Structure 1
Amino acid sequence: MAWRRFLVCNFKLPNAAKTLASPPVLQNTNLFFPLSSPTAAHFSTSFLVTKTPKKFKQKRKKPDSPRTKLAKQHPSTRNHHLESFVDRDYHFRFLTRSKQFLSQQPDHVLRLDDAGKLYRELGFPRGRKIARYLDRHPSLFQTYRHTDNKLWLGFTDFMEDLLDEERSIMDSMEIDRVNKVTKLLMMSKDKRIPLSKIHHCRLLFGFPDDFRDRVVKYPDRFRVVVGSDGNRALELVNWDESLAVSELERQFMVDEEKAKRAFKFPVKYAKDLDLDEGDARTLNLLNTLPLVSPYSGDGHELDLWSLEAEKYRVGVVHEFLSLTLEKRASIHHIVEFKDEFCLTKHTYAMLKKQPRTFYLAGTEMNWAVFLKDAYDEKGNLIDKDPQVLFNEKLCRYAEMKKGEL
């Protein structure tokens, strides 16, 4: 304390400071004068001033990422009924993938410890417990303790009955599925598609799990060949002229005016033409129809950036969606056949220019495309395949709580 007293006593205070009220300075334990005091002006207090923190700089807003940016730009154009299908797919992803994976296992069972590691195959996020997702569907999945004292995962008896019903639907729709495969091969560039690609997208078209075994029953339509890469591919044997009619051509024959309004390929012309609305519509009709048929056979030979080539690609995507069960597909399904159907990386921008026919849902990185005419105003699919009706029933049972069945 001596050095403190020495410090205070050696300050030469002005007369105004000496007249301050008691207690005297020597007895004051606070060595720091208030900044408002007259004494503060006669010695430096810079060592008391703390550094003022820099103001928090507002982060620059990052541009929207395709991972999060919605496929439709303006809220007024969003169709919440169709958007709900994307949410439904995410909600039932565990059900869909687990059903497919377990159906391929011996006796339709899987050890629970192994199931917890197969998060990709079973459709649940990594790091989550599978029991959490099993509890969501108690009427379809069950766990039981085997003789090895390990917990195993399997289907309930009710779910096994549903799988038998689904197999009977697959058998009854076999000819329809064969026609779909034929049309896909007829649209492809080399009339050949790898079997792995068709099998990967089998749920999209309603093909059974044993699709690769069933195609050998139709040697007059298909044959399995081994490509230069060593992979097996399905090749078309005979061209079926009766199947070479696209859904667009059928619509055109029924309602020509409606088909003409379905697509728009406007002509790029100078502004000094000074066309009124009627003349512009007439000029644009010249480049609207007819579309190039996806079964033309030589569509892949067109100039890649020509208007005819774009019409061809639009027609291919439209016919592809028409062959699906729910008249919709995700970008992953479309990209699967990118080489076979001569599609480009600008498919998203191409379809975005046709809002009268296609609706894009989801995000720009993971978007789905719908055929708008296939759905009514309430978002219900107009023409439902028996497999679609079964899937809707399965989802209803999956939402039931324990004891509600």
Structure 2
Amino acid sequence: MEASELRIKTFIAHYPDLFSFVHLADDCIGLELLSWNDTLAVSQLEKNAFLQMEEDLKNNCLAFPIGFTRGFGLKRKCVEWLKEWQKPPYTSLYADASHLDPRTDVSEKRIVGVFHELLHLTIEKKTERQNVSNLLKPLSLPQKFTKVFERHPGIFYISKMCDTQTVVLREAYDCQRLIHRHPLVDIRERFASMMRKGFMDRSRGLYKKTANVGLEVPSKIVLGLI
């Protein structure tokens, strides 16, 4: 058993009234929520409903924040389509969507809402694209559901750094700066910086193995400089 799997099982064992492991049809193990709390089943878009137009709130036609980089040109036809696409009712990630026709804008808006919420739940408001590829069945998504990332560049941004596709929530960033930084973001960045420095120091030969203790120590210690 991997360490990460052990930590998850240990954590779940502390909350038997909330979670339970279940066996899925594909021989995988899933996690079942035993106690549902409606007060927690509120998406970020719904929490920010005060920013919406009163008429839209009345019809539950919540609109997603849209933003484009400077110089990103949209044809007038695309602008009109985007306005019309925002008008259908918003279906929350936490609501039953089994009745939706996957060929409609309402269904597509629900898919966008799913990933809008999931990215909001991440620490850095982004995730690798492959991380969402297994969500088709658990979230009742249609085939090729990740096409919404390309169809809605004003909501999502696809980064392709280091040959890795990462889905980024546009509204969470001001250029490349995360607007609301979780404390863990700083911890991660400091840890990554320490690791990079360690690798660079090692590549420059600043660490050597001593024959006596078999530990890596700075080369200046080996040279008797301290």
TM bucket (normalised to shorter chain) is 0.5 to 0.7
TM-score by length of 1: 0.40
More helix by share: 1
Q: How does 1:237-256 map to 2 (within 5 A)?
A: 237-253=34-50, 255-256=51-52
Partner of 1:367: 165
Amino acid at match of 2:16: P
More strand by share: 2
Q: Does 1:306 align with 2:109?
A: no
Amino acid at match of 1:370: V
Distance 1:366 1:243 in 2: 33
**Contact map agreement 1:263 1:288 (CA 8 A) in 2:** no
Superposed CA offset, 1:56-104 (max 9, x none): xxxxxxxxxxxxxxxxxxxxxxxxxxxxxxxxxxxxxxxxxxxxx8xx4
Amino acid at match of 1:295: Y
Amino acid at match of 2:108: E
Distance 1:399 1:283 in 2: 43
TM-score by length of 2: 0.68
Distance 1:228 1:357 in 2: 34
**Contact map agreement 1:260 1:289 (CA 8 A) in 2:** no
Distance 1:336 1:262 in 2: 26
Distance 1:317 1:381 in 2: 18
Distance 1:283 1:376 in 2: 22
Q: Runs of at least 4 residues of structure 1 off by over 3 A? A: 227-231, 280-287
Q: How does 1:42-121 map to 2 (within 5 A)?
A: 104=3
Structure 1 position 263, deviation (Å): 5.5
Which structure has more RCO (C-alpha within 8 Å, separation ≥ 6)?
Answer: 1
* 1:228–1:246 CA distance, 2 compared to 1 (3 A): same
Q: Does 1:324 align with 2:127?
A: no
Amino acid at match of 2:52: E
Percent identity over paired residues: 27
SS in 1 for 2:119: helix
Note the aligned Cα RMSD (angstroms).
3.1
**Contact map agreement 2:129 2:166 (CA 8 A) in 1:** yes
SS in 1 for 2:152: coil
Pick one of 154, 165, 184 that aligns with 1:387: 184
* 1:283–1:370 CA distance, 2 compared to 1 (3 A): closer
Partner of 2:92: 293
Structure 1 position 312, deviation (Å): 1.1
Superposed CA offset, 1:304-330 (max 9, x none): 212211111111111111111211111
Structure 1 position 283, deviation (Å): 10
Amino acid at match of 1:398: M
Q: Does 1:353 align with 2:151?
A: yes
Distance 1:229 1:261 in 2: 35
Pick one of 53, 65, 79 that aligns with 1:262: 65
Amino acid at match of 1:226: H
Distance 1:250 1:326 in 2: 19
Distance 1:261 1:332 in 2: 24
Number of aligned residues: 181
Task: Mark the structure with the bigger radius of gyration.
Answer: 1
Distance 1:354 1:214 in 2: 37
**Contact map agreement 2:91 2:110 (CA 8 A) in 1:** yes
